[in-house]
């Protein structure tokens, strides 16, 4: 797969590249991001390679990330129109103002206006709800987003970091009222973070939401920077967010073997695994340096074999919660000893051979 092998996002006609450039590290205001010049070079290299999907948020470096993108892309009409620019609302940038963030109508409209100003564009291609606001009725949020779409300020909407049941409620309300529905789901997803496979991933597949994973390298834990050989020598850039333990090192050992077989790197293999997961449309990659971007882009050259996928899957397969942990028993309860859609029921748990129901 190449970066310009575009994919429609969820149940929509929006075409995006299989990798999305995440802009959380744009700007040095927090002491760990990229300079403006490096950000511009990263964007240019991503676009030149065929990428068309850039993701940011109003809260990233207090709005500076959006401004950097606006200065470099928003002012260039030809470049801006061929790109899918995505940003998010929810973050409050105004201390002391309770309506400065969240998902209420007043907050959403003002946040959108400020993002348009910083991005120097008339419209946002994909506007994400960044995280669930428990204080605002979801119908109010969906109504406000529908108004933004009808006004032409927003083209599509997506949702991030929200429980599956709330996403379903939002989209069903929108469907029954003839409003626009969320077409994308942004979630943390990696070989080291797979709890989303219990509810969020199946929900996205059922509703037709394209999954765009963030932190596919688990905050750098699977970047290849940390190995058994240098265990204890390097301090994790993001502290406790990087799980450097036996489970991680055991996974890295296996990633190293697969990377060697593909003449590639640990990071590329880990990214390829995420890219090839069911329901995933476009994986968000973050890069502070052009060299990191170059390495990540080459992950699209890797196609893991069925055996490699199964092996990696087995290493970190999560234990499902209730009621998913009971699903293995359901065929023996439902099927009456028959095979349905290729699923064998086995011996019935309900009735024995020769036994008649009352």
Point out the residues that are catalytic. 60
Q: Would you say the C-alpha torsion 187, 191, 195, 199 has a positive or negative sign?
A: positive
Tokens of 88: 């998010």
Candidates 59, 80, 182, 78; CA nearest to 69 is: 80
Strand, helix or coil at 307? helix
Tokens of 285: 């990659």
Distance, CA of 240 to CA of 237 (rounded, Å): 9
Task: Kindly state the DSSP code that residue 100 receives in the 8-state scheme.
Answer: S
- Element (DSSP H or E) covering residue 150: helix 138-150
Candidates 276, 20, 257, 216; CA nearest to 125 is: 20
Which residue is associated with the tokens 């002391």? 96
Distance, CA of 178 to CA of 173 (rounded, Å): 9
Distance, CA of 357 to CA of 38 (rounded, Å): 73
């Amino acid at each position: 797969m190449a970066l310009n092998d575009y994919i429609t996002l969820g149940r929509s006609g929006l075409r995006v590249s299989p990798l999305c450039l995440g802009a959380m590290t744009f700007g040095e205001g927090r002491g760990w991001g990229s300079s403006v010049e490096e950000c511009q070079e990263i964007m240019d290299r991503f676009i030149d390679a065929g990428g068309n999907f850039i993701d940011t948020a109003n809260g990233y470096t207090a709005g500076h990330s959006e401004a950097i993108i606006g200065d470099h892309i928003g002012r260039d009409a030809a470049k801006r129109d061929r790109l899918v620019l995505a940003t998010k609302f929810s973050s409050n940038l105004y201390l002391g103002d309770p309506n400065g963030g969240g998902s209420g109508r007043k907050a959403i409209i003002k946040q959108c206006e400020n993002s348009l100003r910083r991005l120097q564009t008339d419209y946002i291609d994909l506007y994400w709800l960044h995280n669930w606001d428990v204080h605002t009725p979801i119908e109010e949020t969906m109504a406000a987003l529908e108004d933004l779409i009808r006004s032409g300020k927003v083209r599509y909407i997506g949702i991030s970091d929200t429980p599956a049941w709330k996403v379903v409620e939002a989209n069903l309300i929108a469907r029954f009222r003839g409003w626009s529905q969320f077409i994308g789901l942004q979630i943390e997803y990696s070989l080291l973070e797979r709890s989303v496979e219990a509810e969020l991933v199946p929900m996205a597949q059922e509703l037709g939401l394209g999954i765009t994973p963030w932190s596919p390298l688990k905050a750098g834990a699977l970047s290849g920077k940390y190995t058994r050989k240098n265990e204890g020598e390097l301090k994790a850039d993001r502290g406790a967010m990087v799980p450097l333990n036996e489970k991680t090192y055991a996974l890295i050992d296996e990633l190293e073997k697969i990377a060697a077989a593909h003449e590639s790197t640990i990071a590329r293999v880990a990214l390829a695994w995420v890219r090839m997961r069911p329901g995933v449309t476009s994986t968000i990659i973050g890069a502070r340096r052009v060299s990191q971007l170059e390495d990540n882009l080459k992950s699209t050259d890797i196609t893991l074999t069925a055996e490699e996928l199964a092996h990696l899957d087995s290493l970190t397969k999560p234990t499902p919660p209730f009621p998913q942990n009971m699903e293995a028993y359901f065929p023996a309860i439902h099927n009456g000893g028959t095979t349905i859609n290729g699923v064998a029921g086995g011996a019935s748990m309900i009735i024995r051979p020769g036994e008649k129901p009352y």
